[in-house]
Amino acid sequence: MPEQPYFRRQAGRKYPAITYQHIFECEKFSMGIFCLPPSGVIPLHNHPGMTVFSKLLFGTMHIKSYDWVVDVPSDTSADAAGVPGKTSAVAVDAIPGETSAAAVDIIPGKPLAAMVDVIPGKPLAAAVDAVPDKNSADVVNDNGNTSADAVDVPSKMSTDANPSETKKPGVRLAKVKADSDLTAPCNTSILYPADGGNMHCFTAVTACAVLDVLGPPYSDSEGRHCTYYQDFPFANFSVDGASVPEEEKEGHAWLQEGEKPKDLLVIGSFYIGPEIVEN
């Protein structure tokens, strides 16, 4: 499997395109494989009310994960901590009424029920109609451009605003659960709704693949929205009532809701492994 085209190094994109092979979904869980080329990134995102099993199938991957710190104030307009020349991240304007409509059609005429959402109401990747007998890796050309088979949804929220003209967005305190490399073969990583690193980010050190089983799956209608975050060192913000001992500050960070990075692209691909049979 590592010899497949979509595991090759890519040039011309900040985030190399990732391939997602959907395997199965029902009301109770969903299952799929993320295939990451070297330096591929699945940005920091959450799993509200969900338990997730992640199994690294091959390669080396860096995992950074967080859990929320409970009983600590969050702040909807946190003050930057006075670092010269630095400001907190720009404000992000929510788009009311937006719903997630991007699905990945793996089999023509048979829509995939699973939608991989990383921002509430917004897809992790653009809608993709897989073309029979055409390798999805062909979508990413050598120059980093994408063909019409992959449609990257343009960002709906501006991050180019002048920080001096925007309100500083809110942040919430989180504790680092994991920040290390994993190399296959290794144990399965498990996260829970409130423990185990519910917010995590994957970065491919080498070409790698990870099997994800989510239970229950994301569902906008049931309030399980997948949300992006940016993380900032604890010292970057000052929030009244929030403090940690000096020796623990490096193990804490402020998380701030964000949007899908403009360069992030996930492409649907055929799953050609063993057939999933329902009893």
SS (H, E, C) 119-159: ECCEECCCCEECCCCCCHHHHECCCCCECCCCCCCCCCCCC
- Whole-model pTM above 0.75? no
Please state the rounded mean pLDDT for residues 124-131: 36
The CATH number of domain 1-68+178-218+261-271 is 3.40.50.300: no
Question: Element (H or E) spanning 224, and its range?
Answer: none
Question: Please, how many CA atoms are within 13 Å of residue 119, restricted to the half-sphere of its CB?
Answer: 27
- Strands (E) in 184-239, as ranges, are 189-191, 199-204, 208-215, 228-233, 237-238
Q: What's the pLDDT tens digit per position in 62-120?
A: 999 999 998 776 665 555 554 433 443 333 333 344 433 333 333 333 333 333 433 33
Query: CA-CA distance, 254 to 234, in Å (whole number)?
Result: 6
Query: CA-CA distance, 127 to 12, in Å (whole number)?
Result: 22
In this structure, of 59-73, 141-155, 245-259, the range with the lowest mean pLDDT score is: 141-155
Token readout for 113 is 């029920």
Task: Provide the pLDDT confidence category of residue 124 given band limits of 50, 70 and 90.
Answer: very low
